[in-house]
Structures are given as C-alpha cells and as structure tokens.
Structure 1
C-alpha cells in the first residue's frame, strides 16, 4: 500500500509484507507513508496513507488507562511505548520506533493479554496492600475486587460477587444492577446448577462463559422460583454474555464472581476467562486473609485447650463490664474457680486425662452460666467467670449446679466487684475466697 513509492529497500519491503506484526513507515512529518498487510487489517481506515497513526493509537501513560491528549502523541525521542487501540474493546500494543530513510519505522506488537493480566495483578497488589494495612470490612474489600475486575476484564460491563453463608450464596457486591440485589441469595444447588460445568470444575474454580439465549434458558430451568426478582434486579433478560468463576478456598467454593456484558454475545474474548480467574483468586486471597486475621485475633484472646477466653481476654473484658455495671447500677460478681486434684490426675492417668477433665469443667461452666457471662481460663486449673447482675447470695446455688454437672472436684470463691478496684485486687480477693472454700471442702471430707 503506498501513496507514492516509499524509500524502502526491496528486501525490507519483502520482510515487512510477510511480518505477522503490524508495520508502518512514517515520513519526516510523522504521516503514514506505507503499511504492511497486518497494519492495514488493524487500522480501521481503508485509506490510512498520509494520516497520523495517533488518529487510532493512543499512548498509555499509566496503569489506569489514562491517555494523553490526541495532539501530543508519542514523543519523537521515545523508542518504545505502550499504545491503546479503541474499538468494541481496547487492544494494547507495544510499539517500537527506529529511524529509517528520513522517517521512522514503527512495529506494533499486540500485548493485550499480557497488559490486562498486568492490570489484574496490579489491582491484586493494591487490594492485598489494603488488606494488610487497613481494617476494612469484608464487603468493602470484595467490592474493590469486583470494581477492578469490571474495569480490567475485557468485555465486562457489569458484575456481581456472592459469598457462601449458611448454605446459600448471598450477593455482597454488584455493579450495574439494582442496589437491592445485595442481600438476596441462591441455594448452593441452584448456584451450582447455574454454573453448569459440573462439580469437578466447580471445585477447581474453572471459569464458565454463557451467552444469550442460553443464559435465559438456564435461568428458567434452575432459578425459576426467584425469576421475577432476578429479572427485576439482575437484568437477566438483558444479559448477552456472562462469566462465572467459583471462588475456591481450601478446597471449598466460598463464593462466585460474575462478570456480565449487556451489549454483545461476543463481548468476552478468550483471555477474559483467564483474567477473571485472576480476580476470583484475588477474592479467595481476601477471604483467606480476613479469616486468618480473625483466627489470629481469636487465638490471641482464647485458650487453645478449652476455647474459653484467656487472661488477656479477661484483662480486656473486665473494665468494659465494670463500666457497664456502673452505668446500669447493677452488681458485678467475679467467681474464681479451681479444679481440685489436677496434679494427682495427671500423675496417675497422664496429661491427656487431665486435659479432658479441664475440657469437661469448661463445658460445665458454659452449660450452667448465661450466654452473656464470659468465662476465662487464666492458669493450668484456674478459671474466672464474670456475672453482671448476679448477687453474692446467688453464687452458692450456681456453684452447686456446676459441681453437679461434673465428676471432678472444684472450689470457688466469689467477690462483688467494687467500682474502685482494679482487676488484680479483685483477683487476689477472689483467690483468697477460693482457697477458703477449698479448705472447707477438705475439712468436711476429713470429718
């Protein structure tokens, strides 16, 4: 293709014509003087000669796809750069310039897949950084994952994200649909049937692409019981193409990522599925990170053997309950518990038997106390419980109920918490009362 014979050697012309990459020669004014067949097929103009390449290709100046003004195209001194070609979907090219025959030879190598993957990973790093440094809510982080996926995955115009809760997939984030879609849920079996590739691919997190009219057919078949609701809020009749990727965490599907096109059944090129899977992995990482953080937090405040609060948890809970008692003008009672004979039990039957006895005592305390009464294991065989609104006169009956629920001996000492007392003072007073109870029990056995 030429407006006039370009100043290219025959060998160069022959090589450029056979090149699978787009090749363009720009004259000294930066106008297209010649292009090879690959470039002619790429440029959306039947007669591009004498025109500027920046009419169609725009330089990318950062990761968010912000483009420079059309008049300030690729600087002449630049030798390499990333260019975007607009169309039904953006395509991305690595451009290389080289001086040639009073002009420049430009080779355009398509990197759409690599660039979109890079954007996906950049988004992942941003979300993970937020996960590590901020205390955002789970829904907020997952909404950021969804926003990045809709922005980055080629063809995506809308989307939603679900989480598995109590056997149902609840919508926790959406873009492009009715706000009240969030909060609605589908059963596990309905979501699996909507996915449609079978349980093996489901557990592997394999992306699935579905296009109209199969979208509507599958909806009628598998979610017909809520069809009107999803038609209203989820625009099912308008969907032309949809990708669903299971969010898999530790071998279980914990949610689904759905990306949608409302305009074309051909909106999603093959690379869209792989990039969508990147964002499903990102969502799984967010879930894992939050669950791990929650686990570590619980671990820091709980006793590993019994699952009760530990001494650190007691130190956090005590001032809060004391302040609550003062506001309500209610009594606050602390009971110090000690299991009798743990050392003898360990020496005779082994530590496994002793651990089991401690678990039994913990379970008895849980079963007898109200749900709002916190219990803590603060030492090997020592437990503490706090009771808002409990009078000292009511403690003996409570102790008897605990003793009746277990087959090991237990001593207990109770004190009424004074607003002026700190935790150490209350514990010392309750410990002394517990040892007095232990002596009484021992004396009664010797009689």
Structure 2
C-alpha cells in the first residue's frame, strides 16, 4: 500500500467515484480504469486483462459474455497464496486478488504479466486492495437489502411454505455456499425440512439425535451452541465429526454418501428465546477455502433473521390453529366448520361430485355429567372424539359441533356411503362403556351432488338427526312402559 501515499489525490478521486456507482459491475469496471490511468503496464497488457469471479472452485470471466475459466485450475499451493491475499504468478500470467477483510472471491487476471514486480506490481495490488474494501461494503449493503426483502416476502408464510425458500435464500446470500440443508428439531431429534443441491431420495426419513448433533457434528461446545455461533468444517474434519443417524428404525454409524462430495460446511444452530429449534448447514462442493470471515458474518446475520421468521410463522400458526380448534378434543370447531364446508361445496359443484354431512348427538351423555361430574364428562368427550377419528377416512373432516354434538364432512360420498360410516361409528361406540356408562348417538345424514346450498344441507342432516333422536326416545318410553 506504499503507493497510496504517493498518489493521494488519485486515490481520493478513485474512492469518491467508487462510492458513487450503483452496482458491482460498475465498480469492477472502475477498477480496470484505475489500473489503466496509474499503472506502468502498457495499454496492450491492460486490453488483455480480465476481471474474474470464483465460481464452482474455478475463476471465470465476470460480467457479460460466456464464462471463460482460467487455462488451468489453481494448485493447492497456489490456493494457499491466493487465500493470503497475495498475487499468484503463473506461467501464463498474474492473478491478483481483489480482497477486502475476507477471503478474495474476485481477481484481476493479467495474461503474460507473471514477471510484474516493483512499483508496477505495488500499484496493481494497491488498487485491488482499495477497491476490494469498497466492493465488500457494496456487497454488504446488497446483502442487508436482500434480508429486508426476504423478510417482506416470507413474513406471512406458514411454516411448511417457509423452510425451502429460506434455505434457498441462504445459499444465494452466503459467500461460498453451493448447497445446504435445514433441519427442524422435533423433541430429541433433528429431521430434514429443506434441501438445496442434495437428494431427497437419500435424506428423506433420516434423523439425528439432538445430543449427538450438538456434541459431535457441531462439536464446538455447549456455550457456542446455545449462542447460535456458526462453525466452519472442512472435508477432513467431517470424518472426525461423524454423527450417527436414524432411518427406518435403524441406527447407522457410517457417513451419509452425500458427505463424500462436500469440501466445506458451515453449520449454525438456529435459536429463539435461548432454545435451539433448527439447524442450518451450508455446503461447498468445490473448495475447502469457500467459507471465510464474510461467510461466517453473513451466515450469523441471516440465521438471526431466519429465527425471527420461523418463530413468527410458528406462532401465527398456533394462534390460527387455536382459533379453529376445540381445546378439549383437538377436533376442529364450529367456526372452522363453515370455512371447510364452503370449500367442499365449491369443489362438489365444480366437479359434479357428491358431498355428505353427518351430524351426531350423543345419547345418555348427561348421565355421566350428573353422576360422575364434569371432569368425567370431558374425558368421555375426548374418548368419543378419538372413536370418531378412527371411524372416518383420511379425506373426511371431523368437528366438535358444540356440547355433545359432532359433525363430519364427507367429500365424494353419497347417502349410502355416509350411512355406512354412521353404522361403523355406532358400532365402535357401543363396543365398551365410556366412564362406566353405555353411550350411544343419534345420527343424521344430509347429502347432495353438484350444486348444493349449505343451509339446505345442514337442515337435511339436522332434521334427520332429530328424527333419529325422537325414534330413540320413543323406543325408550315403550321399553319403560313394558317393564
């Protein structure tokens, strides 16, 4: 940087111009202009100069036109030199890093200038260092804006629609990342929730224990885990930090096959309120030097934002679920019934399909409340709800209608099909006493096909249910008269 002091006015003008540009490509073009104005290099040499970006472990042309890799990839020793921010001399030219505070991901390629030295080389390196710092600031501002845009885009999504775009954004934003995975904590295990450039055929159904993931895979200690500090690991260390995994009820102690292709990984526990409830891994498949200080810094900031988004999404889901769910039985409530019925009516009309509605009113339930108390009555309602769940198909939706009444919406079902389900429910209900009392049910079915009116369907089922209740009461009165 000695040349900076000798050309103070030139560097001041250069920085002023650099801060005025709007994009990365403009800044890089400015870099070449600075080389042309102040360098001892001839115009012919600069005409051959190119700005290169690190892509997939090799350097390719930055800017318009097809990517053009260097004549030969860097050797391991050359990578070490380049990573230190020093120019790499090659038989066919000179590769000068464009470096800020972190690992250089851009370079100036000067063909035929391997012998460049002295003041000429110092000038080139000074321009690259100065502009590298400005470029780093420009890219940092871009990443911050991307985080704001990401929050705006994803803030209202439910959890299941959040994980994949969140991981894709991380891979796009974190320098050096080429793929990754997001795992969610479910009790004492982590399960995969999203993948980028990994195969679901290999990883679906794979899970890891939280303890083993923390102590072996992450392996940086409880304190850093609890703070959500990123940890960088290279391919050689992955074998040391091998973690057992569970799949199909079996425990495997070998590395997953996909690990063989990963050269470096950066891992971050995602936490909220002090609890780790997710884990993000970002991977490089091409370079052990992929993740430097800028990667760690960006990953840490991103995961703080990710934690807020994931927690907010989860909380909204819980609030929405509580608004449509009966607290006692866990079934959907009357409020949600109206929304679900409207959707099924529209689908039945659109496709000309049948739709049935089953209403059930428990009989002899009052005896449980009167003799055993309301706690026993609540337990009985939970038991009935479980029996009803087991009696229906996966496509049917069960609701607690209110009190001791229940409802079931049965898509693609006519009156006969609904009657069969009703018979199955009554049969299961009568297999054993509930709280020592034999509970029955009065059932009513309404159904139609194609275009239907919600009120008419409800009225049909309601009338049928009360007719069944009246028949049951009449049978009870006759039995009592005969006794």
- 5+ residue gaps, structure 2, are 35-84, 86-95, 103-130, 244-252
Q: 1:216 aligns with which of 218, 222, 236?
A: 236
Q: Corresponding residue for 2:154?
A: 131
Q: Corresponding residue for 2:170?
A: 145
Q: Corresponding residue for 2:123?
A: none
Q: 2:375 aligns with which of 337, 352, 359?
A: 352
Q: 1:305 aligns with which of 319, 328, 336?
A: 328
- Are the counterparts in 1 of residues 414 and 447 from structure 2 also a CA contact under 8 Å? no
> Which one has the bigger helix percentage?
2
Q: Corresponding residue for 2:19?
A: 60
- Are the counterparts in 2 of residues 360 and 406 from structure 1 also a CA contact under 8 Å? no
Whole-angstrom distance in 2 between the partners of 1:400 and 1:263: 65
Q: 1:264 to 1:366 in 2, by over 3 A?
A: closer
Q: 1:430 to 1:364 in 2, by over 3 A?
A: same
Q: Corresponding residue for 2:389?
A: 366
Q: Corresponding residue for 2:119?
A: none
Q: 1:399 aligns with which of 426, 432, 437?
A: 426
Give the superposition deviation at 1:365: 0.8
Give the superposition deviation at 1:362: 0.8
Give the superposition deviation at 1:377: 1.4
CA displacement, residues 204-246 of structure 1 (integer Å, 9 cap, x when unaligned):
42222335xxx314326616834653334x3x2xx4xx43212
1:431 matched to 2:441:
no
| Higher mean C-alpha displacement, 191-200 vs 324-333 | 324-333
- Are the counterparts in 1 of residues 359 and 443 from structure 2 also a CA contact under 8 Å? yes
Q: 1:59 to 1:46 in 2, by over 3 A?
A: closer
Please provide the CA RMSD for this pair.
4.4
Q: 1:314 to 1:54 in 2, by over 3 A?
A: same
- Are the counterparts in 2 of residues 163 and 169 from structure 1 also a CA contact under 8 Å? yes
- 5+ residue gaps, structure 1, are 1-39, 74-84, 93-107, 151-155
Q: 1:277 to 1:164 in 2, by over 3 A?
A: same
Q: Corresponding residue for 1:77?
A: none
Equivalenced residues, count: 361
Whole-angstrom distance in 1 between the partners of 2:373 and 2:225: 47
Alignment partner of 1:417: what SS?
Answer: strand
- For residues 12-411 of structure 1, the aligned pairs below 5 Å read 40=1, 48=7, 51-54=10-13, 59-61=18-20, 67=26, 70=30, 87-90=97-100, 121-132=144-155, 137-150=162-175, 156=176, 158-164=178-184, 167-170=189-192, 172-174=194-196, 179-181=197-199, 184-185=202-203, 187-189=207-209, 191-192=213-214, 193-199=216-222, 201-211=224-234, 215-219=235-239, 222=242, 225-226=254-255, 228-232=257-261, 234=262, 236=263, 239=264, 242-249=265-272, 251-258=275-282, 260=284, 265=289, 268-269=292-293, 273-321=296-344, 332-340=355-363, 346=369, 350-387=373-410, 388-389=413-414, 391=416, 394=420, 395-396=422-423, 398-405=425-432, 407=434, 409-411=439-441
Give the superposition deviation at 1:359: 1.4
